[in-house]
Structure 1
Amino acid sequence: MNSKATSSGSIVAIVPAAGIGSRMGATIPKQYLPLLDKPILAHTLQRLLSHPAIDKVIVALSAEDSWFDSLAEAHSPKLTRVQGGKERADSVLAALSALPDNSDAWALVHDAARPCLTHGDIDALLKSRQHFPQGAILAMPVRDTMKRAAKDGSIDATVCREALWHALTPQLFPAASLKQNLEQALAAGVSITDEASAMEWAGVHPGLVSGRADNIKVTHPDDLQLAALFLEAQQVLQAQQQNT
């Protein structure tokens, strides 16, 4: 496949945001917890909506969501909302089903709770289509020594970290292929932890694109403080670049 064909098609960002984030121990879904001046999800959507290559953003929400309409980003003309499902894969599939059957779009799936995504990382992932026409994900090489635990909580073994990567998002795939593989994997009862796992199950080998370390997922309360530090640092750097 030539690079021109590989890079064709619109870019549709998909944000599964129907979860409740129970590990945060909060009274509201974690994507609506305040981070600096606005909710986590607002930061995430702003990063996607403001990227010039992204044509559309589809957000999959819980049927009981009563917070989304309060976000300024919720009223963007580039944004569409759909009802999500119980699991992440169900929400992503619901968003993909909102696209035309003959769509040649690329689906850029990003976690609702990763508010520090940079345009530079999006650019790198989009550019990777020329080398990985089957799709690719942002990821980071494992840096720390890895241990496998025994059932009693002790160390069972040290795992070689060579060739191990932490999977991040966004994850980018041809929308039609991702939809088909998600549908078939779910019908087969396969556990789908991210979009790449559905593609892998179908025999596809997605590419790995090195991403930034500050693209963290807010999962535990301490992550909010770290995300705030990263966002502030990014804002300072952006201001410095604009003044030079």
Structure 2
Amino acid sequence: MSNSVGVVIVAAGRGTRMGTAESKQYLLLQDKPIVVHTLEVFQQHELISEIVLVTGEEDVDRCREWIAVYKLDKVTAVVPGGSERQHSVYKGLQKLRTTWVMVHDGVRPFVRPEDIAACYQRARQIGASVLAVPVKDTIKQVDGAGTVVSTPDRRSLWAIQTPQTFRLSELKGAYERAERDGYVGTDDSSLAERAGITVSVVEGSYSNIKITTPEDLDFAEFTGRTRGEGL
């Protein structure tokens, strides 16, 4: 099992930008909850042996029902998350028994199977990997007064996506170190970098969007139709 790969799908957030009473991960996309689309990508991937879904405490029961209805038999646990994303991921990590782990956002249903495979291969080579895309726009660093301080070279800037892939024991160690130090990072790789783990970027796709606003949902419907795969 030295090459076994598990996934923690994080769907515990209660995003407010969607402007709906329902959490974004449970909104319907082509008549199916967004999080189910995301789970299906990993369910169908030959590399993946285990999936742990982390969700809000009040959503655990309906998620378990969907797992049964959609026959997502790689899902070995549905666990309630914590107050921060970081705490939610750590709770998910505790439930995995694989050597490697991918952490993925529940609201990124368009991740491509080949990108999942590429992330895993790069992590095996380097130690850890993150899916990302080059930044298209010119980025300005701005101070508190709104004044431009600098213009970083766009060629060095990448927009980070998920999945992010690590050796499970190393990511757990990075999380435990962050907890001891009272450090809260913006993503899993920031904790890994802080723990001295080398993280490599794998170029992904601009279609691997995180659905957080009504406009994203419109784009997701369009993407699902134009792919012609029925998702």
Question: Displacement of 1:130 after TM fit?
Answer: 4.2
Question: Displacement of 1:181 after TM fit?
Answer: 0.7
> Conserved in 1, the CA contact under 8 Å of 2:123 and 2:200?
no
The reply to whether residue 71 of structure 1 matches residue 71 of structure 2 is no
The reply to whether residue 114 of structure 1 matches residue 108 of structure 2 is yes
Q: Deviations over 1:67-102 (max 9, x none)?
A: 4244256652211212211111111111111135xx
Equivalent position of 1:61 in the other structure: 55
Equivalent position of 1:96 in the other structure: 93
Q: Per the alignment, do residues 130 and 202 of structure 1 end up closer, same or farther by CA in structure 2, a change over 3 Å counting?
A: closer
Q: Which runs of 5+ in 2 are unaligned?
A: none
Question: Displacement of 1:118 after TM fit?
Answer: 1.2
Residues in 1 aligned to 2:50 and 2:65: alpha-carbon distance in whole angstroms: 20
Equivalent position of 1:4 in the other structure: none
**Which structure 2 residues correspond to residues 9-158 of structure 1 after superposition, within 5 A?**
9-65=3-59, 67-72=62-67, 75-79=71-75, 80-100=77-97, 105-132=99-126, 134-153=127-146, 155-158=148-151
Q: Deviations over 1:94-134 (max 9, x none)?
A: 1111135xx5x1011100010111111112112213431x1
How well do the aligned residues superpose, as a CA RMSD in angstroms?
Answer: 2.1
What SS does the aligned partner of 1:57 have?
strand
Q: Per the alignment, do residues 129 and 205 of structure 1 end up closer, same or farther by CA in structure 2, a change over 3 Å counting?
A: closer
Equivalent position of 1:192 in the other structure: 185
Q: TM-score, normalised by structure 1?
A: 0.86
Question: Displacement of 1:53 after TM fit?
Answer: 1.1
Equivalent position of 1:205 in the other structure: 198
Residues in 1 aligned to 2:82 and 2:71: alpha-carbon distance in whole angstroms: 22
Question: Displacement of 1:180 after TM fit?
Answer: 1.2
Residues in 2 aligned to 1:236 and 1:149: alpha-carbon distance in whole angstroms: 42
Residues in 1 aligned to 2:33 and 2:229: alpha-carbon distance in whole angstroms: 20
Letter in 2 for 1:191: V
Residues in 2 aligned to 1:62 and 1:187: alpha-carbon distance in whole angstroms: 25
Count of aligned positions = 228
> Conserved in 2, the CA contact under 8 Å of 1:32 and 1:67?
no
Letter in 1 for 2:140: K
> Conserved in 2, the CA contact under 8 Å of 1:138 and 1:168?
yes
Letter in 2 for 1:166: A
Equivalent position of 1:163 in the other structure: 156
Q: Among all aligned residue pairs of Structure 1 and Structure 2, give the percentage whose two residues are the same amino acid.
A: 36
Q: TM-score, normalised by structure 2?
A: 0.90
Residues in 2 aligned to 1:231 and 1:127: alpha-carbon distance in whole angstroms: 27
> Conserved in 1, the CA contact under 8 Å of 2:52 and 2:96?
no
Letter in 1 for 2:63: F
Residues in 1 aligned to 2:200 and 2:74: alpha-carbon distance in whole angstroms: 28
Aligned equivalent of 1:230, options 218, 223, 226 = 223
